[in-house]
Structure 1
Amino acid sequence: MGDIFKIRELRYIPRWSVFFIDISVIFFSVLVSYLFLKSLGVRLNFIEYQNEKIFSVIIVNILFILLFKTYAGIIRHSTFSDFCKILWSSGSTLITLLGLNFISALALGKPLFLYPVLFLFFFISIFLMFFFRMITKQFFSIFIDKDVSSKERVAVVGIGDTSVSLANAIIHNPDHPYQLAGFLSARSDSKKAMLLGHKIYNKKQFLKSDNLREQFDAVLIKDMMTKREMEEWTALALDHGLKVLKAPVASIIKEDDVVKGIRPLKIEDLLNRPAIKIEGEEVKSFHVNKTILVTGGAGSIGSEIVRQVAQLKSSLIVVVDQAESPLYELQLELLERFPNQRFKFVLADISNYSRMEKLFEDHRFSIVYHAAAYKHVPLIEDNPHEAIFVNIGGTKNLALLSKKYNVNRFVMVSTDKAVNPTNVMGASKRAAELFVQSLQNSSENTTKFITTRFGNVLGSNGSVIPHFKKQIEKGGPVTITHPDIIRYFMTIPEACELVLQAGTMGKGGEIYVFDMGKPVKILDLAERMIKLSGYTPGIDIKIDFIGLRPGEKLYEELLTDHSTTIPTHHEKIMISRDPVMAFEDIEALCQQIIMLAVNKDSLQIVKTLKVIVPEFISNNSEFEVLDKISEHEVYE
């Protein structure tokens, strides 16, 4: 038993052993070649120098083995390139010996070696070296590698070159928990074909047969697929109880890294769209050697803005946030990832004007990215004064300081909830938009004030997808406010690229909106996430409808009713021309609402907010009474 365990602990055959075996194969091949011809009664040339001739063949071949390093690869992971090395080595040996024969024939009148001997030696040696490697691979596969019964049986989608490379990567990396079980193809002309020793199953054949579904545990798709292909194969797999795995073949070169990168498909993969085309050089030129301020820098959007700006060779990036622990964690990450970039991490509240002014005075920023805001709708509905302090007052502080200290560009991150708002959070962001826009044409202004507006961000703090994941991990139920609720989604990197691009292309005063594609029904999102986690919606994981939360609406919008959309040179980026207010008017209203927030008079705060944002109609909220009063006043 002890010997068996020692064999199982063997991970590879040492190189010196492979070298010795290859030499033994060469010696054996020469002897077999000569003995075969001798048994046929063939008379050999220069019989008196037979030992020397055999020795010279072996020496020549050893020299080429050393040159091409045929012994260097780990045999259990041999690939086509390793077999090519053997061909090059043996072929070069044959050519060299043929050259010696040619010289011998010219000088001595007859060749040194009989040509049948050379060709027999060539074919026998190649065959035996190949055979040795194949037997070794099979030995490791059966006796050394992990028990295949514990591995996931994977069906690779596609039969093209990329799929074959992916399948080879799985075969040649037995330490990973996957076993190639076959291929899936939409084509119908390959039913009886075999690929890498495995069957190719047609999609229709797969759908009709329960036996085929029993042969697989998971379907493996590639990140190079179109969204439509990915959705089709995902639906096929999930409908039949199979896992869906994704391989990063587009961005990884090494086979081992490809297999390491295989992971369960995430809902974000299905919601993602082709990334917006960003003019990298133009964006970079705006940031090189500039001092940048990012507020809300420890949040989902702010931290990604910092990561992207850190690649653009700015002279200094100042990161401001009032959340201590997230800011510290970001500091540790950025200092490790970007050792050559200068950072300054500031724990501060943007509603503190004097604290902010000290930063502007000390650093003279060229660009300000304003991502700091309170964003959770129900919390803000219960605490409207906090939205006034941060979303309006904080934005007002930063915008006025940007004008005072001649910041070149001020880029504000806004939200689709600012459009026809139904909650305090959205209305406070719309008020902030109005204030920022009003400064563009104010007296003595040199700053370009730019706003970006987009929908929900996949994976951001507190967003629906991480929330659903936690609920699924706990065994459910998954809670949805309403069966018909829909939302737009975009990825965090995509959102931040939009912010950087807007800061570059903006002339001042614009609100940029993004073509976010089709909205997603949250119920469909939840059901898909449950299936991707290996459960059945409604059976394994229940879905509960809890009703709309205060201030929440079924449908989000990106444009106001009175706005017009102007295209830009980016097909996915548009300019929303919303109504604007004069600086003096919005300034006075903001001062008034901030004073009300100090007194924490929620009704008066929201009433004034509705004056600033006339389209703000509360929904499922205690503040709906204010809309009824307003309607009654109009009627009177």
Structure 2
Amino acid sequence: MDKFINILRKLSDQYASKWLVLLFDLCVVAFTFFIAYIIRFNFIIDFEFNLFFKQIPFVLVAALISFLIVSSHKGVVRFTGAKDIINIIIGINILATILIVTTFLSRKYQFDVVFDIPGSIIYIHLLLNIFFLVGSKFFVKSLYRIIVTDFEEQKSVLIYGAGTSGMITYDAVSNDPKSNIKVVGFLDDNDGKAGKKINLLNVYEPDKITKEFIQKNSIDEVIISIQSIDSNRLLEITSKLFALNLKVKIVPAVQNWIDGDLSIGQIKDINLEDLLGREPINIDNPMLVEEYNNKIILVTGSAGSIGSELVRKLVRYNFQKLILIDNSESPLYDLQQELHQKGITNIECIVADIRNQIRIDNIFNEYKPDIVFHAAAYKHVPLMEHNPYEAVSVNVRGTNNVINLSVKYGVEKFILISTDKAVNPTNVMGATKRIAEMIICYQNTVTTGKTKFIITRFGNVLGSNGSVIPLFKKQIENGGPLTVTHKDIIRYFMTIPEASQLVLEAAAMGLGQEIFVFDMGKPVRILDLAVNMITLSGFRYPEDIDIKITGLRPGEKIFEELLVDGENTKPTYNEKIMIAKCKPLNNLDVKIIIEELCNLGPSTQNIAIVSKIKDIVKEYNPNNSKYDVLNN
């Protein structure tokens, strides 16, 4: 049996010759012409066979001409669709027209009886041709689908959206001969559509989809096919479907369809980026080409999540030289090899630590960069709570080193990559990043050089090193449970490409003294994110993998903010991006106290370091940590 199946599948992989298809269609035309005669004479086979056999060659020649005109024989039968059927019908009508015209001329000018075909036979023949030719195409298509899918388990799906996009999705699924998907119905929020039928399939209200309904109809997954769906609405829909243990797929935006047509291969599994709670930020700014062409660009922290993606986007431009600095050897080497494999050689990968001022000075002196992207930082909140000296040494003293050298060597633009944790910080990491911002604001007011200082500030980055996504993935691989610190904790999220693109945009747009923030939509509840990740991984919550609430970590907030009190925003040409001005500071006091902080040695007590940080960042209020005593 298996051998027979394999033979059938091998045969199914072969495409029939177009001339074989044409010959088959002509045979159908001859057969239907015979049937038309029988019908015309009331199924009594006593008509003149000699006349029939004389007319058959003429009919076949007319059919041959008609089919060649419309090229119906060139279609791949297994992929027969609506356009192919229309083409066949046009060819059949051309055939009927030829027969009608020749019959008329034959009767008028007394041509040979071969050309004189009764009108009733022509019309019967026309209808039979439509029925048999179209039917044969769909029969072969169905037979092919049976061969390739009959021995595979079929999936029953619902299409969410009974509009134009839903119909196109239905056609894409139904017309793919290798598809093992069976559409059993539609879902739609429109009350006017609910209860009706489309292509003989029921349209259901979403509220009718219960566990009992799913079990009764053996539903496996739902394909969301709604163009320009609001991301918050998408999050709401998918959360309900996930709760029913259904798999969810989504149809991409129409502008992403290949050559304007949707194929089943483009219907993708829904992912975390689709569930950000906002529309993705897409920036297409021709200013960027002019900004980075023929420039020497230096990136610190270039091997990190943001830094490396920033580099991948920068290599699209015709820069003069790209200087990549990182103190992490292996990731920097990996990035170097990745770029070399793409043929990008005008880069320099340098293992260096931004805390070493002499070493960084030598690099600036050798390469004289035009633009500096400062992505190097310590970012892990729990670790920095226990190691405030290291947080200060990198996030404050290291940043200060790069800033001073940018001024010294006349860098055109310096872009600091900051975080929402710097806003009203409750942890050491966020407070040190806030100090880095304050140094930038200070430089903007005192520098007499040409350097323009710019800050970009954004929320959590999906998939970055040490973020919640890789942690959840690892916990899922280990069978759970997933650990969430608080059931109500919420965070803003963005993708790594979005973060990197924002930084590039800020550099091109910035004139100095700006903090670039952007509309990140509604924050995502981490508990909901954990549940969605479990479901996206093919498991059920809580039956397969559970979630454990562990309690807030030291310095952790329930929610994050994007603006410090006193920072007023104004819009830009991109509605998703806003500009805030640096909060006014007492310049002399800030400079002195930051220098005192940077001069603290490694033997200084943690509490003393954090106390000095709090003296600088007045809005810093340690939370749920041993430094809470400083709030008194």
Per the TM superposition, whether the score is higher than 0.5 is: yes
Give runs of aligned pairs for residues 73-472 of structure 1, distance below 5 A. 73-96=75-98, 112-114=115-117, 116=119, 117-147=121-151, 150-176=153-179, 178-190=181-193, 193-207=196-210, 210=213, 214-222=217-225, 224=227, 225-250=229-254, 251-253=256-258, 258-276=263-281, 278=283, 280-334=285-339, 343-472=347-476
| Residue 223 to residue 198, structure 1, CA distance change in 2 (3 Å) | closer
- Distance change in 2, residues 1:249/1:506 (3 Å): closer
How far apart in 2 are the matches of 1:60 and 1:324? 76
**Partner secondary structure for residue 558 of structure 1:** coil
Q: Show the counterpart of 2:29.
A: 26
SS at match of 2:411: coil
From 546, 553, 563, the counterpart of 1:549: 553
- Aligned AA for 2:141? K
Which residue of structure 1 aligns with residue 510 of structure 2? Answer: 506
Distance 1:98 1:386, change over 3 A: farther
**Is residue 62 of structure 1 aligned with residue 64 of structure 2?**
yes
Paired AA for residue 171 in structure 1: S
Q: Contact between 2:426 and 2:556, CA under 8 Å: does it hold in 1?
A: yes
Higher mean C-alpha deviation, range 452-461 or range 309-318: 309-318
SS in 2 for 1:620: coil
Between Structure 1 and Structure 2, how many residues are aligned? 625
- The 1:77/1:270 distance shift into structure 2, 3 A limit, reads same
CA distance change for structure 1 residues 213 and 530 in 2, over 3 Å: closer, same or farther? farther
Q: What is the CA–CA distance in structure 2 between the aligned matches of 1:433 and 1:192, rounded to whole Å? A: 58
Which has the larger displacement, 464-473 or 374-383?
Answer: 464-473
Residues 383-402 of structure 1: CA distance to partner in whole angstroms, max 9, x if unpaired? 22322332223322322232
Mean alpha-carbon deviation: is it higher for 35-44 or for 528-537?
35-44
Distance 1:612 1:58, change over 3 A: same
Relative to 1, partners in 2 of residues 1:334 and 1:183: Cα closer, same or farther, differing over 3 Å? Answer: farther
Secondary structure, aligned partner of 2:187: strand
Does residue 489 of structure 1 match 2:490? no
Match of 2:620 in 1: 616
Match of residue 16 from structure 2 = 15
The CA deviation at 1:48 is 9.2
CA distance in 2, matches of 1:352, 1:478: 40
| Alignment RMSD | 3.6
Taking structure 2 as the reference length, the TM-score comes to: 0.86
Measured after TM superposition, the shift of residue 33 of structure 1 is 4.3
* Shift in Å, 1:457: 1.8
- Cα deviations by residue, 1:411-458 (Å, 9 ceiling, x for unpaired): 111011112222221121111111122222334311110101122122
User: In structure 2, what is the Cα distance between the partners aligned to 1:362 and 1:57?
Assistant: 86
- Equivalent residue, structure 1, for 2:598: 594
Return the letter of the residue paired with 2:301: G
Map of 1:634 onto structure 2 = none
Q: Which moved more, 1:291-300 or 1:443-452?
A: 291-300
Higher mean C-alpha displacement, 433-442 vs 270-279: 270-279
CA distance in structure 2 between the aligned counterparts of 1:92 and 1:355, rounded to whole angstroms: 83
SS in 2 for 1:441: helix
With over 3 angstroms needed to count, the CA separation of the structure-2 counterparts of 1:54 and 1:537, relative to structure 1, is closer
For residues 26 and 617 of structure 2, the distance between their equivalents in structure 1, rounded to whole angstroms, comes to 86
Question: Are the equivalent residues in 1 in contact too, given 2:513–2:581 (CA < 8 A)?
Answer: no
Tell me which amino acid in the other structure corresponds to 1:179.
K
CA contact (8 A) 2:188 2:194 kept: no
How big is the shift at 1:158? 1.2
CA distance in 1: counterparts of 2:495 and 2:355, whole angstroms: 29
Kept in 2, the 8 Å contact 1:25–1:129? The answer is yes
Give the direction of change, closer, same or farther, for the CA distance of 1:101–1:214 in structure 2 (3 Å limit).
closer
CA contact (8 A) 2:232 2:277 kept: no
Q: Verify the 8 A CA contact 1:315 1:341 in the aligned structure 2.
A: no
Residue type at the aligned position of 1:201: Y
Q: Give, in angstroms, the shift of residue 344 of structure 1.
A: 4.3
Paired residues of 1:434 and 1:580 also in contact (CA < 8 A): no
Structure 2 counterpart of 1:462, one-letter code: G
- 1:596 counterpart SS class: coil
| Deviation (angstroms), 1:508 | 0.8
Determine the C-alpha separation between the residues in 1 that align with 2:75 and 2:398: 62
Task: Check conservation: 1:415, 1:454, Cα contact below 8 A.
Answer: yes
Distance in 2, matches of 1:63 and 1:619, equals 85
Question: Do the aligned partners of 2:161 and 2:226 also contact (CA within 8 Å) in 1?
Answer: no
Query: Which segments of 5 or more consecutive residues in structure 1 lack a partner in the other structure?
Result: 632-636
- 2:514 partner letter: E
Q: CA deviation at 1:373?
A: 1.3
- Aligned-partner Cα distance in 2 for 1:3–1:489: 53
**Cα 1:403–1:101 shift into 2, 3 Å:** farther
Which is worse superposed, 199-208 or 375-384?
199-208
Alignment-derived partner of residue 579 in structure 2: 575
Unpaired stretches in structure 2, ≥5 consecutive residues = none
SS in 2 for 1:15: coil
Contact 1:485 1:523 in 2 (8 A): yes
Quickly say closer, same or farther: Cα 1:564–1:193, change in 2 above 3 A.
Answer: closer
Q: Is the 8 A contact 1:151 1:177 kept in 2?
A: yes
**In 2, Cα distance between the equivalents of 1:411 and 1:115?**
85
C-alpha contact (below 8 Å) 1:76/1:137 kept by paired residues: yes
| Identical-pair percentage | 38
Query: Which segment drifts farther, 433-442 or 516-525?
Result: 516-525
